[in-house]
Structure 1
């Protein structure tokens, strides 16, 4: 069997999986139907399943084969409030399809599919790949491959380190007109903190590409009552995780001081594990580039460009633990991420043909690495040199 015939054999099931997950549109940490479907389909094809995985109900690990090398495939399936406006239903189908093709062609070695919830950072399993990376899930994996829909074909990846937290101020309510002096205004502490954090942009180093995003989640219940509680969500990103850590600690210290000055008590909640910057593996990405080229696609090579990172992902945390290659699959032109336009383009009825191309390219690259020890050694050598 060759790659084309394997894709032809599994095409209908790949598209069916993608469409069902597209219709489920489950938010992160609640992807019960999506993960169940994927596990059942993989199990039908001879994969052994571990679920729950890493103490996450909608995470799983699926394995097929024995011995080495061991190829990891990253699978996402969480949606956003406006549906699959980031196209993770396509990532799920790509991972499933790639696993099926590689499975049908390997004579030795192992495939491990990682079912990873809540890449979008929603709920208790937010940033599951970062949790998996920290807990040693990728120990013994020789290399992994990931994919994401986009408005262009590309290989490689860059990502900003990202930390999200929630600040909740607890004060004391009282009548706003008759007895405000007996209250402690939690909203005042929040607003002052909001302004102070915003003013810290001047302290942030410009070469670290610092991004600060904030939104108020709770500002009180009535205008004639001193707000007893107030909360805001803060998202801070940087091209350097080392600088990000310093910046976050400075922000926490600042907000603690403001809260103390107003007399409120402060509760700080980390909303997800910190996402790291990305360690792209150029050799893997070049293999993906060449496979796309064989399909007549001139993909953009992100690794070789001076294009700055424009987002964050927990896949970056995986790239610090194991050599990681990445492919971006085109589903439209000029599509803003997380938009309704992106959601419409992510419908497999529209994106199905490009999905097959992405599966073909990734499968060929994975098989090439598994069958050629020289490439695998070069990939690992590049990865090891990054850590020195």
Structure 2
């Protein structure tokens, strides 16, 4: 029988109210001011010490309770997409809040730290905030971290492709397309040639790198009888290897620079987000999550035992390379695609409430088991490699 948390009506009402408000705020990445403020105010009222802005990001925060070690980090996401919370981040933030409150109430020694992480979806200046945090050392004093995501099945563990997004802006010179095209510099031609050249690079990429190339033309001119003086290409590349992806990005940038120079356009290159890495799961943490799910008669899938590579990308992967990280997927429906209206509807906390509180329970049980068992924590760190967090 699992160690269950006693949820009184006030706690249940609080968590569902927070999730509902964030669901209705539906703030896109880097603009989650209401959502972030709501979470910070509640955590502060529960005795957490708040740092905000955090790591140079206005909607990011660090909320800390307790002293010393062991220290657990909880990842809270709260950004929406243009069609609302179609990735269910309102449930992630509610899970993080509920888990943190209950762990803090039971904490005898050590710390729990909630990281408010904006723009997981890669929108705006805070895109990939967890990658920024990892790069700046936010998790150096944390012993292990736990993340959660809604899904169409119960699961533990995670796989992810490394991901990089960039934007190429070609600046040419306008002219009449029929009367005097020779006086113009066609920015769109430079873009289309770059598009084709990047696409042709697929043959150079080895199959074992499991690479994906996606491109869209964001701007391509304003009138068909005018030589386009501006064109914008967005490129998204992914791979199962961060090291290879870095080489691929450099090769693409070098290629586009050469094309632009050949056409005589000016070129502006902008990285749209920090590079997301591949995921490094911690099987020890995930096995504890799996065990506690089983105690609730949930037969969850173990992604760590799955062959092959992930098909999506997340900045949580960057965290997993910095600190031992466990992950749980919470079922909110069946055969519902992410980022769809169907997923948004399933993420309504009125529909997902029971599973949300089960997931809080499972996370609480798992975290307390690790915090209270030094041998387990040592095993987690040995798997990761080193004495991370003991500063």
Give the 3-state SS of the residue equivalent to 1:5 in structure 2: coil
Aligned to 1:133: 134
Alpha-carbon deviations, 1:230-263, whole Å to 9, x = none?
A: 0011000000001101111111111111111111
Structure 2: gaps (5+ residues): none
Aligned to 1:73: 74
Please list, as runs of the form range in 1=range in 2, the aligned pairs for 1:21-100 lying within 5 A after superposition: 21-100=22-101
Q: CA deviation at 1:67?
A: 2.1
Aligned to 1:339: 340
Aligned to 1:229: 230
The answer to whether the Cα contact below 8 Å between 1:165 and 1:234 also exists between their aligned partners in 2 is yes
The answer to whether the Cα contact below 8 Å between 1:3 and 1:101 also exists between their aligned partners in 2 is no
Aligned to 2:329: 328
Alpha-carbon deviations, 1:22-73, whole Å to 9, x = none?
A: 0000000000000000001111111110000001000000001112111100
CA–CA distance in 1 between the matches of 2:239 and 2:37?
36
The answer to whether the Cα contact below 8 Å between 2:381 and 2:387 also exists between their aligned partners in 1 is no
CA–CA distance in 2 between the matches of 1:81 and 1:32?
16
Aligned to 2:257: 256
Q: CA deviation at 1:308?
A: 2.5
Query: How does the TM-score come out when normalised to structure 1?
Result: 0.98
Aligned to 1:109: 110
CA–CA distance in 2 between the matches of 1:203 and 1:364?
48
The answer to whether the Cα contact below 8 Å between 1:7 and 1:101 also exists between their aligned partners in 2 is no
**How many residues are paired up?**
386
CA–CA distance in 2 between the matches of 1:201 and 1:347?
40
The answer to whether the Cα contact below 8 Å between 1:59 and 1:116 also exists between their aligned partners in 2 is yes
Q: CA deviation at 1:3?
A: 3.9
Aligned to 1:354: 355
Aligned to 2:377: 376
CA–CA distance in 1 between the matches of 2:46 and 2:4?
17
Aligned to 1:244: 245
CA–CA distance in 1 between the matches of 2:150 and 2:129?
19
4+ residue runs over 4 A deviation: 6-9
Aligned to 1:19: 20
CA–CA distance in 2 between the matches of 1:8 and 1:203?
59
Query: How does the TM-score come out when normalised to structure 2?
Result: 0.97
Aligned to 1:181: 182
CA–CA distance in 2 between the matches of 1:240 and 1:132?
21
Alpha-carbon deviations, 1:135-164, whole Å to 9, x = none?
A: 010011000000000000000000000000
Aligned to 1:265: 266
State the superposition RMSD in angstroms: 1.3
The answer to whether the Cα contact below 8 Å between 1:130 and 1:314 also exists between their aligned partners in 2 is yes
